[in-house]
Amino acid sequence: MTAEELQSGYVFLLDKPLDWTSFQAVNKMKYKLKREFNLPKKFKIGHAGTLDPRATGLLIVCCGKFTKKIPEIQDAPKEYWTEIKIGVQTESYDTEKPEILHQDIAHITEEQIKEVLEKFVGEIEQKPPVYSAIKVDGQRAYNLARAGEEVEMKSRKTTIFYINDIKINLPLVGFTVGCSKGTYIRSLAHDIGQELGVGAYLTQLRRTKIGDYTIENATTDFLDNEYRFENL
């Protein structure tokens, strides 16, 4: 790989670690590439779809002229391996905040869970979590929420293409979900809990696919000095 090739355009498939922001992962890649290939200060690089810090998995990073492809990649369907815990909730809908509102789940059956999951396949209305990067009155919702302010999130339409590979080991429920751009899996976890009547929150999230790109081809080498890359 050369500096000229990088500026002509490459896409990197990264396996983002837990507790890293997408911004940190891109910055790490940018720093290493600029240092190794003596790239100009204005070298273009960016990711095609944010992953929350508490999520792991596929993060696509485009550089050079391929940064123009970012909107196209962001619009592609996504796939996630998801685990939720039922019978309890958190304010953030994931593990960022402590558990609250514990409820008994002794009456919940596996068949009931599968029936509820099936209800969410198709086009649905969804409210993003208050602990999200969406802007409300010009400010990030998570900043307002962390400051103790009440945040009203507006519902939006999204599509769940499928929910399969369901694994139930109560209180944990795992499944694979395919969805459209803009779907919040944390909100899906919360909404599933509300439909069950006992609450739920997201305990694990791993993005496994974006369009035709899969986690099997992703790498953690960007944490070191080696790179695996694809020429689009």
Is 221 part of the annotated catalytic residue set?
Answer: no
Name the residue among 225, 80, 194, 75 with its Cα closest to residue 127. 194
3-state class (DSSP) for residue 192: helix
| Catalytic, out of 15, 19, 52, 165 | 52
Long-range contacts of 39-43 (CB under 8 A, 24+ apart): 39/3, 39/6, 39/7, 43/6, 43/7
At 83 the three-state DSSP class reads strand
Give the count of beta carbons closer than 10 Å to the beta carbon of residue 171: 16
Query: Would you name the residues annotated as active-site residues?
Result: 52
